[in-house]
């Protein structure tokens, strides 16, 4: 069976009273799964995640971070702050960060470097908008995002990254890419990484309205190693179904 990586991205959702039973149940679910399970939570709940998930099979982390170690960056969080709480993961370059907070490829690159320097595994996101897809620019946009994000990253460090293809037109819309569309782009990204960065194998996730009803078909594609899961991770019963997905 293929080992899958199922990472939840809670975004700006859930409260303390909801997360306590959620983490308790997630720990139990992960303990029986052969897949890799993780969850990235809002900053204010990282300490709760550490308290309840540390020592379990559930990896935990943050949804974003700054690339500077410290300074006058009101409202931001540094990689060292995340490291203080033992974060395993951090999502970098999510389309919502790019769209709503004007995050650039250069900033993504700085964040990737800082996460690696601090020992946190970056989940590097990339993906095209609907307009870009309709204009036939998908491959061009993804190559630009990946080469921008990976500038000056060593070959050794490339092996420490997780990648997530998130077509912007499928995030939070309820419309998922078809399994064939997801496979095409994940394969394109893997070929690009191999040709330009000598990455012979990497963890490539699909994100974008992944849910129990389409997970089996999408996750069975050969170039897809798991999912970065938004809405479907908020309800633990839905997340459980994804975590228990088994594919050849």
What is the set of active-site residues? 94, 166
Residue of 167, 158, 92, 165 lying closest to 124 (CA atoms)? 92
Decide: residue 201, CB within 10 A, 0-12 exposed, 13-18 middle, 19+ buried: exposed
Contact 244, 33 (CB under 8 A): yes
| Cα–Cα distance for residue pair 57/25, rounded to 1 Å | 12
Distance CA 63, CA 3 (A): 23
Residue pair 204/223 in contact by the 8 Å Cβ criterion: yes
Q: Let me know how many helices (H) and strands (E) the chain has, helices first.
A: 11, 8
Angstrom distance (rounded) from CA 162 to CA 139: 19
Return left, alpha or beta for 156; rule: phi > 0 is left, psi -120 to 50 is alpha, else beta: alpha
């Amino acid at each position: 069976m293929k080992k899958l990586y199922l990472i939840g991205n809670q975004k700006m959702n859930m409260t303390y009273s909801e997360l306590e039973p959620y983490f308790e149940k997630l720990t139990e679910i992960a303990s029986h799964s052969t897949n890799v399970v993780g969850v990235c939570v809002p900053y204010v709940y990282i300490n709760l995640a550490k308290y309840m998930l540390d020592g379990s099979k559930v990896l935990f982390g943050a949804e974003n971070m700054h690339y500077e170690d410290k300074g006058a960056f009101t409202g931001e969080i540094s990689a060292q702050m995340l490291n203080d709480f033992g974060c395993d993961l951090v999502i970098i370059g999510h389309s919502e960060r790019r769209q709503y907070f004007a995050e650039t490829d250069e900033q993504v690159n700085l964040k990737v470097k800082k996460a690696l320097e601090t020992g946190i595994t970056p989940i590097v996101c990339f993906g095209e908008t609907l307009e870009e897809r309709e204009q036939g620019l998908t491959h061009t946009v993804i190559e630009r995002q990946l080469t921008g994000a990976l500038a000056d990253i060593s070959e050794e460090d490339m092996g420490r990254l997780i990648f997530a293809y998130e077509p912007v037109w499928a995030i939070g819309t309820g419309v998922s890419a078809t399994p064939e569309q997801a496979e095409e782009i994940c394969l394109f990204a893997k070929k690009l990484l191999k040709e330009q960065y000598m990455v012979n194998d990497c963890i490539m996730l699909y994100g974008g309205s992944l849910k129990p009803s389409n997970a089996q078909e999408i996750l069975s594609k050969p170039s897809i190693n798991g999912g970065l899961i938004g809405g479907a991770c908020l309800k633990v019963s839905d997340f459980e179904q994804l975590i228990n997905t088994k594919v050849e």
